[in-house]
Amino acid sequence: MNTMPDRLSDTLQALADPTRRAILARLAMGRATVAELAAPFAMSGPAISKHLKVLERAGLIERGREAQWRPCRLKAAPLREVADWLDTYRRFWEASFDRLDTYLEDLQTATREAKNVRTKNKRRTGGE
Amino acid sequence: MNTMPDRLSDTLQALADPTRRAILARLAMGRATVAELAAPFAMSGPAISKHLKVLERAGLIERGREAQWRPCRLKAAPLREVADWLDTYRRFWEASFDRLDTYLEDLQTATREAKNVRTKNKRRTGGE
DNA sequence: CGGTTATTTAACTGTATGGTTATTTACAAC
DNA sequence: GTTGTAAATAACCATACAGTTAAATAACCG
């Protein structure tokens, strides 16, 4: 993973941890202190600090500074980037009946191809 | 991360690698052999095999078996799960003007709160 | 200033990850 | 059976990651 051009990987990596997703869910309800964010988890303060650092580095949160407090706030832009990327695959889960037709068609093709193979017709079957 | 109930983490983790995302992009155009999937990358066969294993474990692909071939095919259900989860945050990036208003409001509130702190009113400022 | 609260940083640990080379397994052709 | 191709598995390595405790830093208060 290289640094600048791969925000998507950083975001997805940050989201891949359940603790960090839970932190985002809490921040979706409004900003919160580190202690508040830590409360639901049986883990140490530094562990929470590390999670927040990952989220901050990915641009998913920003950490404020008010006296000794470090209130955190959700930033949604990286989530949008993930959603936009996912949208390039939307046709695959929305055209589910189309996929079934294609599957059956491939099944018939595979049956015919199996016959051809038996007649010594060497062919690479991996391609579309 | 525990096993059964955390498919979302497995999926996001699998997607967090650029090589694996490129593999999915290729499979979006149709199923492909392992060699075809490996072609764009300067990496060894076993490395590709490992990536495919991660994708398979996350349910993002299925690996067929035809003679010595192992044609891979995209499975979109986990992507849909991620998209559905992301949708719970959609209001944050679609109501961007609302967020700006809230930000300005918070700024005024913070200004008033700073005054209160100067008058020795100890208060936790992290909450909403 | 000493004591307290809030949080971060440092150092450490065990496990996972993304890669490698070597080897094995699965299949086809002769 | 031998030889060849396709792919997976085994063993290894360096780095990353998610956690810990100890210590340090930042701020407040009497």
Q: How many CB atoms lie within 10 A of CB B80?
A: 17
**Is the CB of residue B33 inside 7 Å of nucleic acid strand C?**
no
Indicate if CB(A67) is under 7 A from strand D: yes
Shortest Cα distance, chain B CAs vs residue A127, angstroms? 5
The CA–C1' separation of B46 and C20, in angstroms, is 9
- Angle of helix B7-15 versus helix A18-27 axis, rounded to 10: 100
B30: alpha, beta or left? (left if phi > 0; alpha if psi -120 to 50) = left
Looking at residue A93, its pLDDT comes to 86
Model confidence pLDDT, tens digit, residues A43-82: 999 999 999 999 999 999 999 999 999 999 999 999 999 9
Which nucleotide across the nucleic acid strands is nearest to A118, CA versus C1'?
A: C28
Residue B93 pLDDT grade (very low, low, confident, very high; cuts 50, 70, 90): confident
**CA angle in degrees (0–180, nearest 5) for B61-B83-B89:** 155
What integer best gives the mean pLDDT of chain A? 80
Q: What is the DSSP string of B53-92?
A: HHHHHTTSEEE--BTTB--EEE--HHHHHHHHHHHTTHHH
User: Which CATH number is associated with domain B7-85?
Assistant: 1.10.10.10
Q: Quick check: B123 and B116 in contact, CB under 8 A? A: yes
Task: Identify the pLDDT of residue A128.
Answer: 31
Mean pLDDT of B80-99: 83
Closest-CA residue of B relative to A13 is B16
Nucleotides of D under 7 A from a protein CB: 4-11, 17-23, 26-30
Q: How many Å lie between the alpha carbon of A7 and the closest alpha carbon of chain B? A: 10
Nearest C-alpha neighbor of A110 from the set A97, A98, A94, A128: A128
Considering only alpha carbons, which residue of chain A is nearest residue B118?
A67
pLDDT exceeds cutoff 70 at A125:
no
Cα torsion B29, A96, B60, B83: sign: positive
